[in-house]
Structure 1
C-alpha cells in the first residue's frame, strides 16, 4: 500500500526520532512501566507508522464496506442507513413479570427483544423437577410450556419485533414454542425475525448448560438449520458465541479463534447432513464480547469479519456474498463489572459500547451497573439503554463508516489478532476440529491458562482494576437491588399442576411417543417437537423423551 522508498525513509526518521527525542524524554520522564500490552497481552509499541502495515493490501485486506472481505463492515452504508438493533437482554421470575420488563424497554426505545431464561429452562427441566429447586426464575424467566410462552409475549406483535433467545441445548423446543405463539397471533413462520443461540459447542467449552452428548446435539442443530431454511427463512438459526469464551477468561485472539473454529464445525456438520452451504450460511450469526481495551476490541471485530469471509470463500467454496458475511451481536463484558463502586461500571460499559460500534456490530446489549450484585433494576437497565442511545445520537461516531480504518495501530493490531487466531484454528484442525479439540481439553486449557494469567496480574497490581485493587473507598451495603420473590417457584409449580389437569393428556402422550420414535431414526425432529409443544407438552417432558434416546453428556475434568 506504500512506496518502498517512502517506507525506508519513515523507518530512518523513526530511528532518528528515538535517538534525538525519545532518549532525552526518557531521561527526564521514564515511562510508567517496562512493557505496555493490550488487555490480551499483545505488545503495544510506542509508535506506529506506515512501516507497521507495509504488507497491507487495501483491496485484499480491507476492501470497501459491504464487499469482501468485509473488514470494514457488512453493509455498504453501515449506521448512516440504519443503526444497530438495541437489544437489551432481559428476563426474570415469571413470564408475566418479564413481559412487563419487555414492554417497559420497548417504551424506552429498545428496538429488539432478548430473552434470558432461568437455569432449569436452559437445561431442560420443568420448574417442579427436584433439580430446579431454588433456581426457578433466578437468572432468567421460567418457561415450562407453551402457556408460559404465550404470557411472555402477550401484547407484543411478533411480526413487528425481532427476538433473540439465549437458549442452547433445548433451543429446538423454545423455537417451536415461539413459532406456536406466533401462529396463535396469526403470524406465519415466514414472517418471524430473530435468533436462537443454539450453540452447544461453547457450552462444552465454557458455559455448562448442556444436556445431550455432542453427536445428537449437533443433529438437533442441523435439524434446525434445515427446517428454518425452508419454513422460517428470516430466522438466524444459530448465534455462534465467543461471549462466554471471553467471560471464561480467553484473550481477544482466542475468542475469535475458538468461536470461528466452532463455526467451522457447524458448517461441516450441516454440509455432511446434505445441506448446501449457500442455503444455510447466510442465516448464521455470531455473538461477541466487548471488553475494556477499546482499540484491541475494534481490531478484534474487524479481524473476525476478515477471517470468516476467507474461511467461507476459500474453505467452504461459498458462492453467495451473504454466506461470507460475519454478522454479529455484541454484549458488553459482564466479567469486567465490579461489585465495588458499581457506578464505575457505567463508564466501563460506555467504553465497551464504543468498541462494539466502532467495530461494526449489528446488534448490542449494554450491561447494567448493578449486575455484579443482582439482576438489574428498571433504573439501571434504563441507564444502560441510554448509553447506547447517547452514543448513537450524540457522539458522532456513527456518521462515517469504520472511522478508525487506516490507523497504523488499529490496522497492525487487526492483522496481529488475525495471525494469532489463524494459528489457533490451524492447531484445532490438526486435532481433528473443534469437537475433538474440546474432547481432548485443548480449548478449555488454553482459556484456563489465560484466565489464570489475568488473575495473577490483577492480584500483583500489574493490571489495575479501579476500585478493586486500587482507588478504594469505604462503601455501605448496596440498596435498591432487584430480588426475585421465592414465591415464583411455588407459582410455577401451581401453573404446571393446572396445565396438566386441563390439557388433553392423551394427545400429549401421543406426540411424545411419536417424537421418541422419530428420535431413534434420522428424520428431522423439528416438526415433531412442534406438534408436542402445540399439545402443551412441557419442556421437561420433551427433553425427557430426548434424554431417553440420546443420553446425557458428562463433562470431563480438564486440569
Structure 2
C-alpha cells in the first residue's frame, strides 16, 4: 500500500522530518522583513485589536462601537450594508431586502455623524471595508473629522479601496476597471497631501480566500494586485517612496497553522523585493504591513462552539506570523451576525494570546524552525510562479478581464469541496464526530423595518438641505469626472452639502457607466 501523502491546502508536500534550513542572516525590522517589520515586534507594541462591526442603522452600530471600546478593543472596523457598498441609497428599489443586513446603512454625512457620536476620530483608528464607494465614505469621514475640529494631518485609519479583488472574487464593483483605478489613484494623490497618516488602500487577499482560493493563490493574487496599484500610482506621477508607505494589506488566516505562518513571512519578503524592483529605496516603502481576519468560511453551523477553538488557532497563527492588527470572528457567524456575547469571546481570545500565552515576549518565535523556514521558501516559490504567469499576461487587470484569477479560484474551491465530501479533508462536527444538534438558541436578526427608518431619514434630509447647493456641487463633480481632475475635493464638497451616497454614485455612473 502506498504511503499517504501529507500536503498543505495549497498542495505543498510536507516531509516527515526536516533536518536543515537555510541559515537566517537577517533580523526583524531589516530588509526583506521576513521576521517582521519592527525590530522589537510585540515587545514594543501589541497588534491593534480590531473588531469588525456594523449592522442595521448608524444608531445601533454606534451602541455596539461604544460596547466594544468599553471591552478594550483598540480600533474600530466598519462593515457597510450591500446598498452602501454598491452605491444605492436605502430608498432605492435595488436596496429592498438588503438595508442594514450585512453592515450599517450609510446614506449621507448625517448617518456618519450618528455612527461616530461620542467618539473622537482623532483618538481612534478606523478601518472601513468599502471599495467601489470608498471615495464617498472616506469623504464623509474627512468631513466629519473637520466638523469635530480634528487635524486632518493627524487622523489615521484604513480604507479598503481594493477594486481589483472585487472583479476577481467578491462582486461589489460599480464602474469598469479603468475608471475604478482612476478613483483609487485620486485617493492616493489627495491623501498623500492632505491626510498623510491615512492608509489609502488595504490590498485584500481575504475575499480571494473566502471565495475558495488556496493560501498560495491568496498570497500571489494579492501581491499581483498590489503591483498593479503601485504601477498605476507611478504612472500618475506619484513617488513610490511616499505613497507605498500608506499601502496596507488584508489577509485571511485559515486552519493549516504552519502554512498560514509561512504565508505571512513569505508575503513580507516578496513585497520587499517587488517594491524595490519598482524603485522603492525607503525602508518604510518596502515594508508589507497587514491586518488579519480569521477565516469566516472555515466556521461551521454544526457544533458552533467548536469555532471558538478554530478562531483561537487562526488568531495565534496570525500573531506568530507578525500581523499589525487582527479581527477575530464570532463563533456564531455561520448562523448570523455575531451576538454581543460572541463578539466579547472573540476579543477575549486576542487578549488571552497577548497577555497570557508568552508568544509576544520574543520576536518571530518560530524563526529557524527547519519546518517553518522550508515551508516559507516553498510558499514563496509557488506564489512567484503565479505572479510570473500574471506578469506575462500584462498584469492583474488583464488576468481578471480574461477570467484567469476567477477560474483558478473556482477550481481550488471545487477541489476543496470534493475533498470534504469524500471525507479526505476532515471537518470536525461536519463529516466526522457528528451529532444530533439542538443548535444555538440566541442568534442575531436584523429587522426589515430598517429600510423604512432610513427612507424617512433621507426624505427629511432632502427637505431640509440647500437643494441648489447640492445640485451645484453634483454638477461640478460630474463635469470634473469627464476630465482628469482629482475628484476627491469635489466629492468632499458634495458630501458636506449633504448630497447622498446614491446621488454621488449616480453622477459618476453617468460618466463612467456600469460594469
- TM-score normalized by structure 1? 0.91
Which of residues 491, 495, 498 in structure 1 aligns to 2:453? 491
Is 2:172 the counterpart of 1:202? no
Retained in 2: the 8 A contact 1:158–1:182? Answer: yes
Distance (Å, rounded) in 1 between the aligned partners of 2:413 and 2:364: 31
Distance (Å, rounded) in 1 between the aligned partners of 2:134 and 2:103: 15
* TM superposition shift of 1:36: 1.0
Q: What SS does the aligned partner of 1:86 have?
A: strand
Distance (Å, rounded) in 2 between the aligned partners of 1:171 and 1:334: 23
Partner of 1:408: 370
Partner of 1:37: 7
What is the CA deviation profile of residues 461-510 of structure 1, one whole-angstrom value per residue up to 9, with x for unaligned ones? 00000011111111124311111122111100000000000000110000
Distance (Å, rounded) in 1 between the aligned partners of 2:242 and 2:321: 27
Partner of 1:397: 359
Partner of 1:500: 462
Partner of 1:471: 433
Partner of 2:36: 73
Give the number of the structure whose alpha-carbon radius of gyration is greater. Answer: 1
Retained in 2: the 8 A contact 1:39–1:292? Answer: no
Is 2:116 the counterpart of 1:146? no
* TM superposition shift of 1:35: 1.2
Partner of 1:307: 270
Distance (Å, rounded) in 1 between the aligned partners of 2:399 and 2:465: 45
Distance (Å, rounded) in 2 between the aligned partners of 1:486 and 1:451: 33
Alignment gaps of 5+ in structure 1: 1-29, 554-559
Which of residues 121, 127, 136 in structure 2 aligns to 1:158? 121
* TM superposition shift of 1:57: 5.0
Retained in 2: the 8 A contact 1:211–1:552? Answer: yes
Q: What SS does the aligned partner of 1:189 have?
A: coil
Distance (Å, rounded) in 2 between the aligned partners of 1:38 and 1:454: 12
Q: What SS does the aligned partner of 2:470 have?
A: helix
Distance (Å, rounded) in 2 between the aligned partners of 1:65 and 1:58: 11
Distance (Å, rounded) in 2 between the aligned partners of 1:311 and 1:274: 18
Q: What SS does the aligned partner of 1:239 have?
A: strand
Retained in 1: the 8 A contact 2:302–2:439? Answer: no
Alignment gaps of 5+ in structure 2: none
Partner of 1:548: 510
Partner of 2:490: 528
* TM superposition shift of 1:146: 0.1
Partner of 2:316: 354
Retained in 1: the 8 A contact 2:303–2:439? Answer: no
Q: What SS does the aligned partner of 2:484 have?
A: coil
Higher RCO by CA contacts (8 Å cutoff, separation 6 or greater):
2
What is the CA deviation profile of residues 314-364 of structure 1, one whole-angstrom value per residue up to 9, with x for unaligned ones? x21101000100000000000000000000000000000001000000000
* TM superposition shift of 1:209: 0.3
What is the CA deviation profile of residues 499-557 of structure 1, one whole-angstrom value per residue up to 9, with x for unaligned ones? 0000001100000000000000000000000000000000000000000000001xxxx
Q: What SS does the aligned partner of 1:340 have?
A: coil
- TM-score normalized by structure 2? 0.99
Partner of 2:139: 176
Partner of 1:318: 280
What is the CA deviation profile of residues 211-257 of structure 1, one whole-angstrom value per residue up to 9, with x for unaligned ones? 01000000000000000000000000000000001111111111110
Q: What SS does the aligned partner of 1:190 have?
A: coil
Partner of 1:339: 301
What is the CA deviation profile of residues 442-461 of structure 1, one whole-angstrom value per residue up to 9, with x for unaligned ones? 11111111111111100000
Number of residue pairs matched by the alignment: 515
Deviates more, 1:119-128 or 1:184-193: 184-193
Distance (Å, rounded) in 1 between the aligned partners of 2:370 and 2:207: 30
Is 2:378 the counterpart of 1:378? no
Is 2:53 the counterpart of 1:90? yes
Partner of 1:47: 17
Partner of 2:246: 283
What is the CA deviation profile of residues 375-404 of structure 1, one whole-angstrom value per residue up to 9, with x for unaligned ones? 000000000000000000000011100000
Which of residues 74, 95, 109 in structure 2 aligns to 1:132? 95
